[in-house]
Structure 1
Amino acid sequence: MADVIAQRTIELTLPNGTQGSIRVRVWEPEYRPRPSAPFWEADVEVAGAGKTHKTNGVGIDAFQALYCALQLIPSMLVIYEDLGRLSWLDAEWLGFPEIKLTEP
């Protein structure tokens, strides 16, 4: 089992003022060969407010898998936006990269 290599706690403020937290964790990439092709995976998890979502970034090498895992985080946090305000270090920017699916 891979080790957690990064973890961040995001604050969740509900409309009634109640505070909660969302934990984001990323595991070190692992080589996971499959019959179709060998590739790397980096697991990523977002958990809190009674919800847990875990998936992985996939790549040809460890760098690509880790980069893909980091790019998944903003879309994983979307499920919490309807619950209240998300913040990190008292700022609305959570410090994660966002995927822009537009032409260069």
Structure 2
Amino acid sequence: MPDVIAERTISLTLPSGTKESIRVRLWAPEYRPSALCWEADVEVAGAGEAHKTHGVGIDAFQALYGALHLIPAMLSSYEGNGQLSWFDEEWTGFPEINLTNA
């Protein structure tokens, strides 16, 4: 398995005021000969949940963009539980990425 190339910890503040850590990790893209494509794994874990998937592409850059694109959607599963924040700011530092050329 390739190395983790990026990791960020954000906070989930529950309605009770308790804070939980949410860890986002991204692995280096890896070529998958059986699928004839590149994949970059991404994981969001914490507060009793864990979600792992991967971005896919015809090259490593496209796989990375795909993985980064998935992170905001993966984090949205926590929004009903409380407020996500990064460095005490009310955002996670993961902007939504538009993957179209328009």
TM over 0.5: yes
Secondary structure at 1:89 match in 2: coil
**Deviation above 4 Å: which 4+ runs of structure 1?**
100-103
Taking the TM superposition and a 5 Å limit, the aligned residue runs for 1:19-98 are 19-34=19-34, 38-98=36-96
**What TM-score results when the alignment is normalised by the length of structure 1?**
0.91
Percent identity over the alignment? 73
TM-score (norm 2): 0.93
SS of 1:65's equivalent in the other structure is helix
Q: SS where residue 82 of structure 1 aligns?
A: helix
Q: Give the drift of 1:103.
A: 9.1
| Deviation of the 1:99 alpha carbon | 3.8
How many equivalent pairs are there? 102
Which residues of structure 1 form unaligned runs of 5+? none
Per-residue deviation at 1:54? 0.1
What is the alpha-carbon distance in structure 2 between the residues aligned to residue 101 and residue 16 of structure 1?
37
1:57–1:66: 8 Å Cα contact kept in structure 2?
yes
Pair 1:15-2:15 in alignment: yes
How big is each residue's C-alpha offset from its partner over 1:60-82, in whole Å with a ceiling of 9 and x where there is no partner?
00011011100100000011001
Q: Is the 8 Å Cα contact of residues 25 and 44 (structure 1) preserved in structure 2?
A: yes
